[in-house]
């Protein structure tokens, strides 16, 4: 019987959720869920120098917000805990000692300064450095005696023999390397902490992870990890290395270089679900042209065989487009609920906010565009009369003035301002009476009441939103400006 599929997301708590990491978490989740398996969260905090306060909460919050619910993890427990590496320390030491007995590792007493000196020397000569550790020739008995006597030590991997070693990756295929080029890296540091190189193997084994899914920067170290699995005689997991997420052809997306994290994107007005949908397509493609997916649809469609080897470029314009699709696919009520606090913050006049939401919904792609789109509601901006002249609408200052005067007197007589329809009926009757095209009336009216070239909604909806008094005042101002210009 095939084993139950188990994947893990193993972030280091850095204080933000990198987009590339979230994409990897999504792939891990989808691989597990596609097979009805488990998705595990493990916190890799053994690099104590890099710990950031509150950083694990950001991980929990992000996973929760996007709906990647883990089945086991530090906050919810499970049968394979603890799920935080710093709580697993005694175990790594025990396993490392066992690996020494098995011949897969050895105690090393070399001073770091000496190794560093050799590394620098090699660097200055331009040759690649590989430490040839004399300690691997010390007998186990002697090494143990030195450890017992309190001499500082690390535990280092032992790579025996020469020739090729290989492993199979689901995305990159068979990777073969000459053992000669593999470093005998440190597994347990002198402070007793494991390195990532060791902890990932022990944890993945202990947590019964069947598919190790991670960034392709680990591809070159995987042959070494594989040798350790073999030394223990453990089942080798299925390796799924995923391509990097790039900002452009040459640079990886990196929070450290100022690129947006998940939290930054949300703050910039992107919806968590749209972000998740977009990043699913970074390095993975479905069999069809479909681009908009719910998480359930992704679970159904996701196949490892469609993960690409090529780096994926993060295209903010594409995300912006997709976010707009998500906004437009909402019901007006959902959309209103989502933006009402931003509206209340941006508009201080008593207006029908639901109608404001209605005119915004088809027009914006991110929530960050709202404030600027509705700024004219509070105050009419200064504008130039040149704006009344629109080639396509066939308006001139004379036509605009005529249109505004007619609209002003008709609107002044309108008693019922309680719905868009009454304003609509009234304004739409005017062009015929004035023998004008619709645009020749509506363009000047919209210009007068918004002072802007581009606005969500048209003259009718905006007049209704502003209310009678404000609409008339703004039209008066427009008339005044046009008269002043024509009388010059």
Q: Cα(147)–Cα(137) distance, rounded to whole angstroms? A: 15
Q: Which one of residues 44, 184, 365, 420 is an interface residue with ligand GLU (CB under 6 A)?
A: 44
Whether the Cβ atoms of residue 432 and residue 395 lie closer than 8 Å to each other = no
HSE-CB at 72 with a 13 A cutoff on CA atoms is: 20
The strand order across the sheet containing 105-108 reads: 105-108, 154-157, 186-188
Residue 255 in contact with ligand GLU, rule: CB under 6 A: no
Whether the Cβ atoms of residue 252 and residue 20 lie closer than 8 Å to each other = yes
Q: Which stretch binds ligand GLU (CB under 6 A): 6-14, 367-375, 394-402, 437-445?
A: 6-14
Q: Which stretch binds ligand GLU (CB under 6 A): 9-17, 65-73, 155-163, 175-183?
A: 9-17
Strand runs labelled E in 60-152: 105-108
Q: Cα(22)–Cα(405) distance, rounded to whole angstroms? A: 58
Q: How far is the CB of 4 from ligand GLU (least distance, A)?
A: 20
Q: How far is the CB of 11 from ligand GLU (least distance, A)?
A: 5
Residue 85 in contact with ligand GLU, rule: CB under 6 A: no
Q: Which stretch binds ligand GLU (CB under 6 A): 5-13, 128-136, 156-164, 224-232?
A: 5-13
Identify which of residues 43 and 441 has a Cβ nearer to ligand GLU in the complex: 43
First to last CA, the chain: 91
Strand runs labelled E in 60-219: 105-108, 154-157, 164-169, 173-178, 186-188, 211-215
**Per-residue contact flags (x/-) with ligand GLU for residues 205 to 224, judged by CB under 6 A:** ---------x----------
Identify which of residues 85 and 277 has a Cβ nearer to ligand GLU in the complex: 85
Q: How far is the CB of 323 from ligand GLU (least distance, A)?
A: 27
Q: Cα(20)–Cα(312) distance, rounded to whole angstroms? A: 10
Identify which of residues 240 and 351 has a Cβ nearer to ligand GLU in the complex: 240
Residue 11 in contact with ligand GLU, rule: CB under 6 A: yes
Q: Which of 57, 49, 5, 55 has its CA nearest to residue 30?
A: 5
Identify which of residues 12 and 373 has a Cβ nearer to ligand GLU in the complex: 12
Q: Which stretch binds ligand GLU (CB under 6 A): 7-15, 351-359, 418-426, 463-471?
A: 7-15
Residue 206 phi/psi, 5° resolution?
Answer: -65, -35
Residue 45 in contact with ligand GLU, rule: CB under 6 A: no
Cα 348 versus chain centre, distance: 33
Q: How many residues does the chain have?
A: 488
- Residues touching ligand GLU, count (CB under 6 A): 6
Q: How far is the CB of 83 from ligand GLU (least distance, A)?
A: 13
Which of the residues 33, 224, 255, 358 is marked catalytic? Answer: 255
Identify which of residues 222 and 320 has a Cβ nearer to ligand GLU in the complex: 222
Identify which of residues 44 and 461 has a Cβ nearer to ligand GLU in the complex: 44
| DSSP state string for 316-358 | HHHHHHHHHHHHHTS-HHHHHHHHHHHHHHH--S---HHHHHH
Q: Which one of residues 5, 6, 10, 153 is an interface residue with ligand GLU (CB under 6 A)?
A: 10
Q: Which of 231, 239, 236 has its CA nearest to residue 214?
A: 239
Q: Cα(362)–Cα(355) distance, rounded to whole angstroms? A: 12
Identify which of residues 27 and 107 has a Cβ nearer to ligand GLU in the complex: 27
Identify which of residues 11 and 223 has a Cβ nearer to ligand GLU in the complex: 11
Q: Which one of residues 157, 165, 200, 440 is an interface residue with ligand GLU (CB under 6 A)?
A: 200
Asked if 144 is an active-site residue, the reply is no
Q: How far is the CB of 13 from ligand GLU (least distance, A)?
A: 9
Residue 377 in contact with ligand GLU, rule: CB under 6 A: no
Strand 211-215, strand 238-242: pairing: parallel
Q: Which one of residues 7, 12, 210, 323 is an interface residue with ligand GLU (CB under 6 A)?
A: 12
Q: How far is the CB of 108 from ligand GLU (least distance, A)?
A: 24
Residue 238 in contact with ligand GLU, rule: CB under 6 A: no
Q: How far is the CB of 44 from ligand GLU (least distance, A)?
A: 4
Identify which of residues 15 and 439 has a Cβ nearer to ligand GLU in the complex: 15
For 58, 348, 414, 455, 474, the CA distances from 470, given in Å and listed in that order, are 46, 14, 14, 17, 6
Whether the Cβ atoms of residue 228 and residue 104 lie closer than 8 Å to each other = yes
Residue 7 in contact with ligand GLU, rule: CB under 6 A: no
Q: How far is the CB of 85 from ligand GLU (least distance, A)?
A: 9
CA dihedral (303, 305, 311, 317) positive or negative: negative
Inter-axis angle of helices 459-466 and 438-450, nearest 10: 40
Question: Which residues lie below 8 Å from residue 60, measured CB to CB, with a gap of 6+?
Answer: 75
Catalytic residue positions, numbered? 255
Interaction site with ligand GLU (CB under 6 A): 10-12, 44, 200, 214
């Amino acid at each position: 019987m095939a084993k139950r599929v188990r994947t893990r997301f193993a972030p280091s708590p850095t204080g933000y959720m990198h987009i590339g990491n979230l994409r990897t978490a999504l792939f891990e989740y989808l691989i597990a869920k596609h097979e009805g398996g488990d998705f595990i969260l493990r916190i890799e905090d053994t690099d104590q120098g890099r710990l950031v306060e509150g950083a694990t909460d950001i991980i929990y919050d992000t996973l929760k917000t996007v709906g990647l619910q883990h089945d086991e993890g530090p906050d919810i427990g499970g049968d394979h805990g603890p799920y935080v590496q710093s709580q697993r320390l005694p175990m790594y030491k025990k396993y490392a000692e066992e690996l020494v007995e098995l011949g897969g590792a050895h105690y090393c007493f070399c001073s770091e300064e000496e190794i560093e000196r050799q590394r620098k020397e090699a660097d200055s000569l331009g040759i690649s450095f590989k430490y040839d550790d004399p300690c691997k020739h010390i007998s186990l008995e002697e090494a143990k005696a030195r450890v017992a006597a309190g001499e500082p030590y690390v535990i280092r991997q032992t790579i025996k023999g020469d020739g090729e070693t290989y492993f199979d990756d689901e995305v990159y295929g068979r990777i073969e390397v000459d053992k000669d080029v593999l470093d005998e890296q440190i597994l347990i540091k002198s402070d007793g902490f494991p390195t990532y190189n060791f902890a990932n193997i022990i944890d993945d084994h202990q947590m019964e992870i069947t598919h190790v899914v991670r960034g392709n920067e680990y591809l070159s170290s995987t042959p070494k990890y594989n040798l350790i699995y073999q030394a223990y005689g453990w089942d080798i997991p299925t390796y799924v290395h995923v391509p990097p997420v790039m900002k452009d052809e040459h640079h990886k997306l990196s929070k450290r270089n100022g690129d947006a994290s998940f939290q930054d994107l949300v703050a910039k007005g992107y919806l968590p679900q749209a972000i998740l949908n977009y990043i699913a397509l970074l390095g993975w493609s479905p069999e069809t042209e479909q681009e908009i997916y719910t998480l359930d649809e992704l679970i159904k469609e996701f196949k490892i065989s469609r993960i690409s080897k090529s780096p994926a470029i993060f295209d903010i314009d594409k995300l912006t487009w997709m976010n707009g699709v998500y906004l437009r696919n909402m019901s007006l009520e959902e959309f209103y609920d989502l933006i009402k606090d931003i509206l209340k913050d941006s508009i201080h006049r008593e207006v029908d906010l639901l109608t404001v939401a209605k005119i915004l919904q088809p027009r914006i792609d991110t929530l960050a565009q709202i404030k600027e789109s509705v700024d004219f509601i509070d105050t009419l901006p200064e504008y130039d009369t040149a704006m009344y002249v629109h080639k396509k609408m066939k308006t001139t200052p004379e036509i605009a003035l005529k249109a505004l005067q007619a609209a002003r007197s008709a609107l002044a007589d309108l008693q019922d301002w309680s719905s868009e329809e009454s304003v609509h009926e009234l304004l739409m009757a005017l062009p015929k009476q004035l023998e004008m095209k619709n645009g020749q009336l509506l363009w000047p009216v919209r210009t007068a009441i918004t002072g802007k070239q581009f606005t969500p909604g048209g003259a009718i909806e905006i007049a209704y939103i502003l209310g009678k008094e404000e609409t008339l005042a703004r039209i008066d101002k427009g008339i005044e400006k046009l008269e002043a210009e024509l009388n010059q």
